[in-house]
């Protein structure tokens, strides 16, 4: 990231919410299930699969967590009735993890059972390191209860991830592998760009060796080509792995993968609780200064012209 962009990314928390909302709109499908479905329909028409995320990590009451559970129910109904090619992603904090492990587990079980009833699949996103052990424990418990339509996310920047892969291996987990987005201390996380890449490749190789289905979630061109090399080395067919990208990021790289016959799933977040997600996306956008400038000048010019 260039110096100016890095400085602006650090100042983002001071930026007014309406401006954050405007410049982050490319990353979010809208506030309603109908808007999310419209986006997924367009993605499906382009040959992309989707995973719908009901934004909710900022919730603070059991009632709000139940609302998120209800929203997922509506999403499954909509996916089914509109014949969309989409599964869902959930954040355990949105289902109440910080309000209590058992409450969150009950909510997750409900969502996973709703998914099973409509032949769908639930991916548990991975949040900051205060959630890692609980997330993996809950994933394991659900699998041991016989709920198989559920997968998890592992973050290549965490030093523990290679051990987690080995511990989870007997479950043959369905894993999304990503770099990881939260700011973690060097004691537990690789901070160096190349070290994270290197660990990503190590973890991917280990997951494939152990027979996991992997969602290779990255826009990093070098990692995409390493992913292609590894799935080729393992002789996998296109339906035995997938690439994953975020809505609003790297569309051209996604087009290339699809043209070459690989499967691509796009992460489609929607909902009222858009702020934290938007901040993370903006903070990792390498051209954030340009976005803010374009938005501001565009508005100024627009106002002058009116």
Ligand X SMILES: Cc1cc2nc3c(=O)[nH]c(=O)nc-3n(C[C@H](O)[C@H](O)[C@H](O)COP(=O)(O)OP(=O)(O)OC[C@H]3O[C@@H](n4cnc5c(N)ncnc54)[C@H](O)[C@@H]3O)c2cc1C
What are the residues binding ligand X (CB under 6 A)?
125-126, 153, 155, 176, 178-182, 217-220, 244-246, 249-250, 267, 281, 284-286
Cα separation values, 273 from 17, 119, 193, 277, Å: 12, 27, 30, 8
Cβ of residue 219: shortest distance to ligand X, in angstroms? 3
Separation between Cα atoms, residue 251 and residue 243, nearest integer Å: 13
Active-site residue flag, 125: yes
The smaller minimum CB distance to ligand X, of residues 185 and 302, is found at 185
The smaller minimum CB distance to ligand X, of residues 127 and 143, is found at 127
Separation between Cα atoms, residue 168 and residue 266, nearest integer Å: 25
Cβ of residue 306: shortest distance to ligand X, in angstroms? 30
Rg (CA), the chain: 19
The smaller minimum CB distance to ligand X, of residues 59 and 217, is found at 217
The smaller minimum CB distance to ligand X, of residues 62 and 220, is found at 220
Query: Burial, 153: exposed, middle or buried (Cβ in 10 Å; 0-12, 13-18, 19+)?
Result: buried
Separation between Cα atoms, residue 59 and residue 99, nearest integer Å: 10
Catalytic residue among 5, 53, 125, 164: 125
Contacts (Cβ under 8 Å, ≥6 apart) of 26? 247, 248
Cβ of residue 144: shortest distance to ligand X, in angstroms? 22
In this structure, what DSSP letter does residue 119 have? T
Cβ of residue 192: shortest distance to ligand X, in angstroms? 12
Cβ of residue 245: shortest distance to ligand X, in angstroms? 5
Separation between Cα atoms, residue 64 and residue 52, nearest integer Å: 19
Query: In which residue are the tokens 């997330």 written?
Result: 135
The smaller minimum CB distance to ligand X, of residues 58 and 284, is found at 284
Catalytic residue among 123, 176, 197, 265: 176
3-state secondary structure at position 31? coil
Q: What are phi and psi of 242, to 5 degrees?
A: -150, 155
Catalytic center residues: 125, 176
């Amino acid at each position: 990231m260039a110096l100016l962009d890095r400085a602006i990314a650090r100042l983002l928390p001071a930026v007014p919410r309406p401006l954050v909302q405007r410049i982050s709109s490319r990353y979010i499908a809208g506030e309603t299930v109908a808007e999310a479905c419209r986006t997924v329909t367009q993605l499906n028409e382009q040959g992309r699969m989707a995973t719908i995320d009901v934004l909710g990590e900022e919730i603070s009451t059991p009632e709000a967590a139940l609302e998120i559970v209800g929203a997922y129910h509506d999403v499954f109904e909509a996916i089914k009735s509109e014949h969309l090619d989409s599964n869902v992603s959930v954040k355990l904090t949105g289902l109440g993890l910080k309000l209590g492990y058992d409450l969150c587990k009950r909510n997750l079980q409900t969502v996973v059972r709703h998914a099973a009833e409509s032949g769908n699949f639930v991916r548990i996103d991975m949040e900051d390191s205060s959630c890692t052990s609980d997330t993996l424990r809950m994933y394991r418990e659900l699998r041991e209860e016989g709920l198989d339509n559920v997968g998890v996310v592992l973050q290549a920047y965490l030093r523990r991830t290679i051990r987690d892969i080995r511990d989870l291996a007997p479950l043959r987990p369905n894993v999304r592998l990503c770099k990881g987005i939260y700011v973690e201390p060097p004691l537990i996380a690789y901070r160096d760009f190349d070290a994270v890449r290197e660990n990503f490749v190590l973890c991917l190789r280990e997951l494939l060796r152990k027979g996991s289905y992997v969602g290779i979630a990255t826009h990093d061109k070098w990692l995409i080509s390493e992913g292609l090399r590894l799935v080729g080395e393992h002789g996998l067919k296109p339906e035995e792995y997938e690439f994953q990208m975020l809505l609003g990021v790297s569309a051209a790289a996604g087009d290339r993968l699809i043209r070459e016959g690989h499967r691509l799933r796009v992460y489609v977040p929607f909902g009222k609780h858009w702020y934290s997600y938007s901040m993370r996306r903006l903070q990792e956008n390498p051209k954030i200064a340009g976005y803010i400038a374009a938005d501001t000048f565009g508005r100024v010019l627009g106002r002058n012209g009116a």
